[in-house]
Amino acid sequence: MLTYHLATLSNPVNPVQVLYKYAPKLHIFRLMSNYSLIYLVDFNGNLVYLKMFYLIINKLNNMNKQLIALCMGGMIMGACTSSPQKQAVPMVEAETSEEMYMLVGSYATPNEEGIKVYRFEERTGDARYVSGLKGISNPSYLTPSPDGERIYAVGEDEGETATANAIRFDKEQGVLTLLNTQFTKGGAPCYITLSPSGKFVLTANYFGGSVTVFSLGKERELLSGAQLVSFVGNGPDKERQTQPYLHCVEFTPDARFLLADDLGTDQIHVFPVDEGSADGVSSFLLNQSEEYQVKVEPGSGPRHICFHPNRKFAYLINELSGKVIAFSYDKGKLAATQYIEADTVGAKGSADIHISPDGKYLYASNRLKADGIAIFSIDQETGTLTRIGYQLTGIHPRNFIITPNGRYLLVACRDSNVIQVFERNSQTGLLTDTGRNIQTPSPVCLKFVR
């Protein structure tokens, strides 16, 4: 956030906030209609360095006239003064609106708004409904393209009607339009991801025990002729591990490997990828001949995996054991360094996992008993975890998300029909319920779009 040294002949006025809002975005200075810009000197094009300028703000109601001297730059060069007489110059940090879209996936019938669009104010934690999209059965997991103009959603039906869906997102109006739909050929797709190049979309099919790879067309729609990669095996839990259950597909930060978490066989399938040679052909994306597995403790039930911002550590939440596994990561090699409990009551319902933007804290959700979020600090040198707290939530926190500024953590509580907004203490990592609940039926996936 830009910082200003501010000196005035009377009290500071709101134009400082107006300047902050428009200058970085438009590379020019504008004031709202009730202010006049009189004099501007020495503006260096792209805001890399702005020396000094003087503004005379004349309120149209003629209440007073004020002289504002502001000094800005990559570093503050020194305080400005409004007269030769020395005076204390306060430091003022201008606040602006930090709105973004929040997309909410849910379990819903095609006749219901399975995906909802909200505007979320990142600075205050407030949200307001914008629009919704009907036409998809159980759009329980979403992933946006980097530019936010396409959204890809699963249709988590258990049988042959299971789908993947491409959606156009009008960010000006906040409106979603279904672009096209393809069958996944694997039941209950519960996770969807976009390849780093943006040429492929992949789903993890829970009941299908498989991964589906789609190529994208010119409009970034899903093309037919998808590749289906199936797995075999089982695990020691006779009720929950009778077959492969694929729960997550994620690319490594170096974009060289795909990780496919298999809850049913207690392993992560690792596929080398080469998007260049694949050239948009789905069957060429994953190098199946060089696939290998990272095995975890029997009965763990791998679910979701995430990477530390430094790209050296990865963390896996296991649904059945309730443990988080910390890994070191280097060139496709995952080496377990720690197992630590997120679920201490044996609920066998651990769900989601995320790391704060500053890389200092990790959060993992648990369902079925003592529903809530386990909180861990992260050793920045070794990547190991220390449990520091637990935040109770609504019922069935299947999914959660942390705002890009790290200030809020939002939890989708499926069976409470609510999205809870928690404020996050950046120093301690602990959470406080703001009470700004967002009521919506069966929320199970949250994604932000700028």
Res. 6: pLDDT tops 80: no
Per the CB < 8 A criterion, the answer to whether 201 and 216 are in contact is yes
Query: Within 13 Å, how many C-alpha atoms sit on residue 237's CB side?
Result: 20
Question: Dihedral, CA atoms, 241, 244, 250, 253, nearest 10 degrees?
Answer: 80
Residue 311 DSSP SS3: coil
Q: pLDDT for 136-194, tens place per residue?
A: 999 999 999 999 999 999 999 999 999 999 999 999 999 999 999 999 999 999 999 99
Q: What percent of the chain has pLDDT over 90?
A: 76
Res. 49: pLDDT tops 80: no
Tell me the average pLDDT of the chain: 84
d(CA 76, CA 345): 53
Per the CB < 8 A criterion, the answer to whether 37 and 55 are in contact is yes
String of DSSP letters for 192-237: EEE-TTSSEEEEEETTTTEEEEEEB-TTSPBPSS-EEEE-----S-
Q: Which of 46-60, 216-230, 242-256, 351-365 has the lowest mean pLDDT?
A: 46-60
Write out the H or E segment, with its range, that includes residue 19.
helix 15-26
Average pLDDT over residues 267-284: 89
d(CA 70, CA 43): 13
How far is residue 228 CA from its own chain's centroid?
A: 27
How long a stretch of residues is the chain?
Answer: 450
Specify the pLDDT at position 238: 97
Of residues 96 and 322, more confidently modeled: 322
- Give the amino acid at 15: P
Write out the H or E segment, with its range, that includes residue 421.
strand 418-424
DSSP 160: T
359: left (phi over 0), alpha (psi -120 to 50) or beta: left
Per the CB < 8 A criterion, the answer to whether 416 and 390 are in contact is no
Q: pLDDT for 12-29, tens place per residue?
A: 333 333 333 333 333 323
d(CA 383, CA 328): 7
In DSSP terms, 118 is beta-bridged to 102, 129
- pTM to 2 decimal places: 0.80
Specify the pLDDT at position 36: 30
Res. 342: pLDDT tops 50: yes
What is the dihedral sign for C-alpha 267, 230, 104, 240?
A: negative
Structural domain boundaries of the chain?
4-92, 99-449
Res. 81: pLDDT tops 80: no
- Burial annotation 361-374 (CB, 10 A radius, 16+ → b, else e): bbbbbbbbebbbbb
Res. 34: pLDDT tops 80: no
Of residues 36 and 410, more confidently modeled: 410
Domain 99-449 belongs in CATH node 2.130.10.10: yes
Burial (Cβ within 10 Å: 0-12, 13-18, ≥19) of residue 419: buried
* Closest of 157, 228, 144 to residue 193, by C-alpha: 144
Residue 46 DSSP SS3: coil
Res. 353: pLDDT tops 70: yes
